[in-house]
Chain A
Amino acid sequence: MKYLLTLCLGLLSGAAMFTAAMIYNPFVADRGISPMAVTDSELIVLSFSNVPSDAIVFTNDGNSQKKPFPEKVLQLWEASIRKSSAMATVMRDARGRTAGLGVKFSSDSERTRLLHGEALVDSVWYLYLPERGSLFIEQFENHWTFFRDVGLPAYQSGAKNWKGNWIGDLTAGPEALGTAVVTGGTGALKGLEMLAVESLSARAYSAEDGPIAAEGRLLIELPPASGDVETAAPDE
């Protein structure tokens, strides 16, 4: 009997050691510098609040950490869309002015491999920038480092929240350098094929309510000589 108890204790210890090693695996690190940070091309820089209550509308299955907003919005409770979220939000340019509207659909990805430090989310953006045109962005995001550096410390803290300064790229593909694929739909952007990166800057996070102070940013790299789109320098 005591051997059986010892074996069970060993099993639990082993599983706990494995989980700790997986979370703090030094080989799973940030990907370092964003490819957009070293580009010579012109960029469209768009920012948006990543806090659900700052969006025009945010919805999911209603049981997730992020709460739907406004309260009476239709929730995505059906089996096919239960692991998805939808958001419509105002996009701002580098000077903080309204640049257009963005709609983002996200779904947990079946390619998620926690063993490899990949907590993947398949997402698409639709952006409409008045007088410039529309864009479609296809990407998958890796939320692993955000979970490890922000989410987990929030769960572990007594107050169930985290405060600090976390900045990182969420986009992890599908392009080879970990960038998203952008397709121009209408206006000056029509027919253009571009690359983009979505990044996140978090300052406060609650284990119960999700992001409290967080801003997202989309950097869209324009192809050379792509016309008269208002742009920002890479370092702006």
Chain B
Amino acid sequence: MLKTFIVGILLGVAGAAAALYLYPVVDQHREASIVSVGPNGRNIESFHVNVPMDRILVGAHGNNNPLPAGMKWPKDEVLQDVRVELFKIRNARDTVVGVAARTAAKEGSDDVIDWVLHLPARGSVFVNMQAEALEGGYRKGELRAGSREFGQLGGVMTERWVPDTSGDEDAPSGRIELVTTFVGSPEAI
């Protein structure tokens, strides 16, 4: 009887260790990436934000309709020219794949527009946009930093507001279209 109990203990220890080793504690859901390959091997991927349904936060000084309801934006003078928005972001199949932050601010006479995209199963990117919009309503930005999958990449991202023209009752008023064009950095030989 004692031997059986001791064997049980050993099996219990081994089983618990094996279960912890073999089965992942965290298993992030992955949506298949929809990537097309452009000239020079650049990977082009498109994301979008449906407005207003994907908005998590719209924070700005003097905003009379705070989002979410009940949110109190800080009244500090130093934050007067800062606007922060948080969104859910979707892939080309209209499936939510991550979250993003867009910050717009004034630094003296310059405008700052930064995006951070966070895709839980893949990594994050930090893009610093040019203040001036290009022809066609595009704004272009440079990938400043990335984490995990995006850590060794360089490239650009564009943002564009696309108003909805479908006229559907439950359609979003429009969408913010983000197109990333990334390429791996050449490795030193």
Contacts and interface: CB of A to CB of B under 8 A. Distances in A.
Say whether A associates with B: yes
Interface of A: 2-3, 6-19, 22, 56-57, 59, 70-74, 76, 78-84, 86, 88, 90, 98-101, 103, 105, 107-110, 112-115, 122, 124, 126, 128, 130-131, 133-134, 136, 138, 181, 183, 185-187
Contact of A134 (B72, B74, B114, B119): B114
Given A10-B8, A98-B78, A107-B118, A138 B124 contact: yes
Interface residues of B, number: 71
Contact of B86 (A80, A82, A88, A183): A88
Interface string B65-89: 0001111111010110110101010
Given A13-B12, A81-B96, 14 more contacts: A7-B5, A14-B14, A18-B17, A57-B57, A71-B70, A72-B68, A81-B98, A98-B79, A101-B74, A128-B82, A128-B103, A130-B82, A130-B105, A134-B114
Interface string B36-79: 00000000000000000011110100000000111111101011
A81 B76 contact: no
Contacts of A81: 88, 96-99, 120
11 contacts: A11-B8, A56-B57, A56-B71, A57-B86, A74-B68, A110-B27, A112-B26, A122-B148, A134-B114, A186-B114, A187-B107
Interface of A is mostly: mixed
B25 interface: yes
A181 B9 CA distance: 44
A83 B8 contact: no
B126 interface: yes
Given A72-B70, A80-B97, A98-B79, A9 B120 contact: no
Nearest to A87: B86
B95 A122 contact: no
Given A2-B1, A3-B1, A80-B96, A134 B112 contact: yes
Interface string B2-14: 0011111111111
Given A57-B56, A98-B76, A101-B82, A122 B147 contact: yes
B27 A128 contact: no
Contacts of B98: 80-81
Nearest to A21: B13
Given A72-B68, A83-B28, A186-B112, A126 B95 contact: no
A14 B114 contact: no
Contacts of A82: 29
A7 B69 contact: no
A11 B114 contact: no
Nearest to A13: B9
